[in-house]
Amino acid sequence: MMNLHKWIVGIGLFTAVLGSAQAMTLSSKDIGEGQLLSNQFVFNGFGCTGENISPQLAWRDAPEGTKAYAVTAYDPDAPTGSGWWHWAVYNIGGDQQQLAQGAGSKHNGLPKGAIALKNDFGTTDFGGACPPQGHGMHRYEFTVWALPNPLELPKDASPALLGFMLRAQALGSAKLTAVYHR
């Protein structure tokens, strides 16, 4: 009976240690969980007239061993059968804790060493929300991924390939989902 008691106490301590670990978080001064995106973060084209600016994103409590980050913006509700990639950036330095508003623009730029892939609009810039007229509410999932090392991808890699590699190698991730409709 004494061994059972020690085992139960041990499990309780193990659970307490796991429960006290901080989960990686993603926040933004510009967008909120479940909140409607403002016109700043809407695409300018395809019938939309937004400012097409990437939102400020900040993360913390990355898992131990994180040496690089990736940031993706994805609409799983796009009527394509495969969603819509609005932004896919990888090899953000492990010392970075945020991307400034507008970092997704060629004019403002990403941190040194970061690589932006071509999005589904056909550019390497951030592409804002622009669901089809009358298609209902769409979710825009902004995700930061913690990586044990920078990724090595082909120069013409797709965001889908990046997504595969992120899911295979990420130490952790955090997501912030905003919404939009027209």
Q: Under a CB-based contact definition with an 8 Å cutoff, are residues 93 and 150 in contact?
A: no
Judge whether 60 lies within some domain.
Answer: yes
Closest CA to 56 of 126, 103, 105: 103
Judge whether 62 lies within some domain.
Answer: yes
Listing DSSP states for 31-92 in one string gives: --TTPBPPGGGB-EETTEE----PPPEEEE-PPTT--EEEEEEEETTSTTTT-EEEEEEEEE
| Mean pLDDT computed over every residue of the chain | 90
The dihedral built from the CA positions of residue 22, 71, 135 and 44, taken in this order, carries a sign that is positive
Judge whether 2 lies within some domain.
Answer: no
d(CA 135, CA 48): 14
Take residue 13 and report the two structure tokens written for it: 């301590």
Task: Assess whether pLDDT exceeds 70 at residue 17.
Answer: no
Torsion of CA 105, 109, 111, 117, to 10 degrees: 50
pLDDT of 21 reads 59
Take residue 85 and report the two structure tokens written for it: 């990639």
* Confidence band, pLDDT 50/70/90 cuts, at residue 107: confident
pLDDT of 8 reads 39
Judge whether 110 lies within some domain.
Answer: yes
Task: Assess whether pLDDT exceeds 80 at residue 169.
Answer: yes
Domain limits for position 81:
23-180
Total of domains in the chain = 1
Judge whether 14 lies within some domain.
Answer: no
* Confidence band, pLDDT 50/70/90 cuts, at residue 106: confident
Task: Assess whether pLDDT exceeds 50 at residue 109.
Answer: yes
List pLDDT tens digits, range 27-53: 999 999 999 999 999 999 999 999 999
**Residue 10 CB-density burial (10 A; 0-12 exposed, 13-18 middle, 19+ buried):** exposed
Task: Assess whether pLDDT exceeds 60 at residue 11.
Answer: no
For tokens 């955090």, what's the residue?
A: 174
pLDDT of 156 reads 93
Judge whether 112 lies within some domain.
Answer: yes
Task: Assess whether pLDDT exceeds 60 at residue 111.
Answer: yes
Take residue 92 and report the two structure tokens written for it: 């953000």
Judge whether 145 lies within some domain.
Answer: yes
List pLDDT tens digits, range 128-137: 999 999 999 9
Across the range 15-34, mean pLDDT stands at 77
CATH number at residue 143: 3.90.280.10
Take residue 151 and report the two structure tokens written for it: 């990724």
Judge whether 34 lies within some domain.
Answer: yes
Give CA 99 to chain center in angstroms.
11
Percent of the chain with pLDDT over 90: 85
List pLDDT tens digits, range 49-81: 999 999 999 999 999 999 999 999 999 999 999
Which residues, in sequence order, are bridge partners of residue 72? 88, 143
